[in-house]
Amino acid sequence: MGLSARVRDEFPLLGQSAHGKPIVYLDSAATSQKPREVIDALVRYYEEYNANVHRGIYAIAEKATLAYEEARGKVAGFINARRPEEVVFTRGTTEAINLVAYAWGLHSLRAGDEIILTTMEHHSNLVPWQLIAGMTGARLKFWDFDGEGKISLEELDRLLTGRTRMVALAHQSNVLGTFNPVAEAARRARAAGALVLVDAAQSVPHMPVDVQQLGADFVAFSGHKMCGPTGIGALWARYEHLEALQPFHGGGEMIMLVELDRSTYKEPPWKFEAGTPNIAGAIVWGAAVDYLTRIGMEAIRAHEQQLTGYALVQLQEIKGLRIHGPKNPAERGGAIAFSMDGVHPHDIAQVLDQEGICVRAGHHCTQPLHRRLGVAATVRASLYLYNTADDIDALVRGLDKVLAYFAPSRRSGVGAEGRRGA
Q: Note the residues at the interface with ligand C6P (CB under 6 A).
A: 29-30, 92-94, 122, 124-125, 170, 174, 199, 201-202, 222, 233, 360, 364-365
- Looking at the Cβ atoms of 96 and 340, the one nearer to ligand C6P is 96
Cβ 228 to ligand C6P, closest distance in Å?
Answer: 11
Cβ 66 to ligand C6P, closest distance in Å?
Answer: 26
Q: Determine the Cα–Cα distance for residues 193 and 212; give it in Å rounded to an integer.
A: 18
Cβ 182 to ligand C6P, closest distance in Å?
Answer: 12
Q: Determine the Cα–Cα distance for residues 333 and 309; give it in Å rounded to an integer.
A: 10
- Looking at the Cβ atoms of 113 and 121, the one nearer to ligand C6P is 121
CB 23 within 8 A of CB 356: yes
Helices (H), 141-274: 153-159, 182-191, 211-214, 239-244
- Looking at the Cβ atoms of 18 and 365, the one nearer to ligand C6P is 365
Cβ 117 to ligand C6P, closest distance in Å?
Answer: 12
Q: Determine the Cα–Cα distance for residues 273 and 240; give it in Å rounded to an integer.
A: 17
CB 176 within 8 A of CB 149: yes
Q: What are phi and psi of 37, to 5 degrees?
A: -65, -25
CA 55, distance to chain mean position in Å, is 32
Q: What amino acid positions are annotated as catalytic residues?
A: 365
* DSSP secondary structure string for all residues of 252-296: TTSEEEE-SS-EEEPPTTGGG--SS--HHHHHHHHHHHHHHHHH-
- Looking at the Cβ atoms of 123 and 344, the one nearer to ligand C6P is 123
- Looking at the Cβ atoms of 64 and 201, the one nearer to ligand C6P is 201
Report the candidate in 223, 248, 245 with the shortest Cα–Cα distance to residue 234.
223
Cβ 256 to ligand C6P, closest distance in Å?
Answer: 30
How many other CB atoms sit within 10 Å of the CB of residue 386?
24
Q: Determine the Cα–Cα distance for residues 363 and 385; give it in Å rounded to an integer.
A: 24
CB 308 within 8 A of CB 316: no
- Looking at the Cβ atoms of 159 and 365, the one nearer to ligand C6P is 365
Report the candidate in 139, 140, 133, 142 with the shortest Cα–Cα distance to residue 112.
139
- The answer for 231, left when phi > 0, alpha when psi is -120 to 50, beta otherwise, is left
- Looking at the Cβ atoms of 325 and 415, the one nearer to ligand C6P is 325
Cβ-Cβ contacts under 8 Å for 138 (sequence gap 6 or more): 105, 109, 110, 111, 112, 113, 114, 115, 132, 165
What's the distance, Cα to Cα, between the start and end of the chain in Å?
16
Cβ 96 to ligand C6P, closest distance in Å?
Answer: 8
Cβ 176 to ligand C6P, closest distance in Å?
Answer: 11
